[in-house]
Structure 1
Amino acid sequence: MRGSGLGRRLLASGGGSRPGAPWGAALPAPRRGFAATAPVKSYDMRRVEITPLEQRKLTFDTHALVRELEVHGFGKEQAETIVSALTTLSNVSLDTVYKDMVTQAQQEITLQQIMAHLDSIRKDMVILEKSEFANLRAENEKMKIELDQVKQQLMNETSKIRADNKLDINLERSRVTDMFTDQEKNLMEATTEFHKKDSSTNSAIAEISNKIDSQIASLKTLMESNKLETIRYLAASVFTCLAIALGFYRFWK
């Protein structure tokens, strides 16, 4: 019985196996430690039982065709040669057709093998998905633990840095406070010293002013006495001149 050629093409491709792999070779080992079912053998190549040449029936009557050719003017040998060539061409065509044909039993066997192989692949995919999901969940848990550890380390480092900064700020504040206290003390000492010097300066200025005033008063007194002496001297001089003038006047008179 003729088939669609699907079974033969599947047999030729090895049921979807890897190119170049030998027939009956086991599947490659699963990666990453995933579980897999037992390896399934590839399909075996089965030869199609083609009808022998002597048992085949031609689709036309060779004797009638020879007689028909003789009627149309061909010789007997020519007609037999033409019919023989047509028979050979028909056999070659049948061989070509039979190569792409498969029996119903062989097609059913191949289909069952394909379905079994697909079931095995489906089971492997389910197991692979479960294993992959378990591995992903384990990796997620591991990453979560690592993230928690990193978070805790960051919190510890942040607390340590905050404490160090707070201590540095307090130390700097104490240093600035001490510096301000020292500067204020120095300012008070400078102010006291300035007041002392100002008091001594004021007392010295007052003493000098008193001395100047006393000297001015003595100078005024001396000037007054000198003035009186000068007036007396002038008066005596005037009287002397008058006396001399009167003497000369009397002498000449």
Structure 2
Amino acid sequence: MNPLRHVSNTFISRSKTPLITSNILTQQKQLLVQQQQQWNSIFPLVPIRCISSYHFDTFKFVERLEAEGFSREQSEAIMASLREVISESMTDATKGMVTKAEQEKTVYTYKVDFAHLKSEIQLLEKNDFTVMKAENDRLLGEVEKLRQKLREEITRSQANVRLDLHLEKGRIRDEASAQEIKIKETDTRIESEIAGLRTQMEAIKFQILQYMIGTITGAGALFLAYLRMLR
């Protein structure tokens, strides 16, 4: 809603009143201030170039009031009061606004800050990349050292295992030789005992044979003697 049109309609609707009191002017001023505050809350701050000291055609406004029946002095007083109210309202309305130069200065400051921030970010990225590359090279060196150490450990372990295997093989061969010797000695002892047992068995057989021959001879002699006695 245009405040100038609203105020003009308000004053024109009171054209039959011979004089506008200070209370009415005060109320109109407060109304304009309230409306301007509402505009400030609705519309965002915008950059402005300049604010003119005259916001409407004062001469035509005075002529219109005179045509409605006001005197020259009353018309000029109303116009002056209205201009003062509108000027104060516009001043209050433009307090939160900025000029184009200030806006350009702020934008330039933001651009400089963004450029500085971008440079810092790029520098940080470059430094981070350098640090990361150095750290990567260091890690690669450590990995290579670990690989070399691992290869040495594997070679040493393989040599120790081979040595242990050779020693174990030699020990097993020695134990096998000792076992073979013991087995041979046992076989020889067993064969000797078997031979002794065979000799003893042959002697026993010979003794049994002698006993049998003696027994048969004695029995034959007794039988012949018995036959002689029967004759």
CA gap of 1:197–1:92, structure 2 versus 1, over 3 A, is same
Match of 2:214 among 211, 218, 235: 218
Q: Which residue does 1:116 correspond to in 2? A: 112
Determine if the alignment matches structure 1 residue 99 to structure 2 residue 105.
Answer: no
| Contact 2:45/2:97 (8 A) holds in 1 | yes
Matched residue type, 1:58: H
| In 2, Cα distance between equivalents of 1:68 and 1:163 | 124
Match of 2:134 among 126, 132, 138: 138
Determine if the alignment matches structure 1 residue 206 to structure 2 residue 202.
Answer: yes
CA gap of 1:132–1:221, structure 2 versus 1, over 3 A, is same
SS in 2 for 1:58: coil
| Contact 1:50/1:98 (8 A) holds in 2 | no
Matches within 5 A, 1:151-166: 151-166=147-162
Q: Which residue does 2:178 correspond to in 1? A: 182
| In 1, Cα distance between equivalents of 2:86 and 2:220 | 179
Q: Which residue does 2:19 correspond to in 1? A: none
CA gap of 1:65–1:230, structure 2 versus 1, over 3 A, is farther
Any unmatched runs of 5+ in structure 1?
8-47, 236-253
CA gap of 1:165–1:64, structure 2 versus 1, over 3 A, is farther
CA gap of 1:205–1:6, structure 2 versus 1, over 3 A, is farther
Q: Deviations over 1:176-214 (max 9, x none)?
A: 211111111101001001111111110111011011101
Q: Deviations over 1:126-158 (max 9, x none)?
A: 322222221111111111111111111111222
Q: Deviations over 1:65-97 (max 9, x none)?
A: 7668878xxxx8xx95xx958953663354223
SS in 1 for 2:99: coil
| In 1, Cα distance between equivalents of 2:64 and 2:96 | 28
Matched residue type, 1:95: D
CA gap of 1:226–1:136, structure 2 versus 1, over 3 A, is same
CA gap of 1:64–1:231, structure 2 versus 1, over 3 A, is farther
SS in 1 for 2:115: helix
- Alignment RMSD (CA, Å): 3.4
Greater C-alpha Rg = 1
173-182 or 61-70, larger mean C-alpha shift: 61-70
Determine if the alignment matches structure 1 residue 57 to structure 2 residue 50.
Answer: no
SS in 1 for 2:94: helix
| In 1, Cα distance between equivalents of 2:209 and 2:96 | 154
Q: Which residue does 1:227 correspond to in 2? A: 223
Task: Flag the structure with more relative contact order, 1 or 2, with Cα contacts below 8 A and sequence separation at least 6.
Answer: 1
Equivalences, count: 182
| In 2, Cα distance between equivalents of 1:220 and 1:173 | 68
| In 1, Cα distance between equivalents of 2:174 and 2:129 | 66
| Contact 2:55/2:86 (8 A) holds in 1 | no
SS in 2 for 1:59: coil
| In 2, Cα distance between equivalents of 1:63 and 1:123 | 62
For normalisation by structure 1, the TM-score amounts to 0.60
| Contact 1:5/1:100 (8 A) holds in 2 | yes
CA gap of 1:222–1:94, structure 2 versus 1, over 3 A, is same
1:125 deviates by: 2.8
Any unmatched runs of 5+ in structure 2?
1-43
Matched residue type, 1:157: E
| Contact 2:54/2:83 (8 A) holds in 1 | no
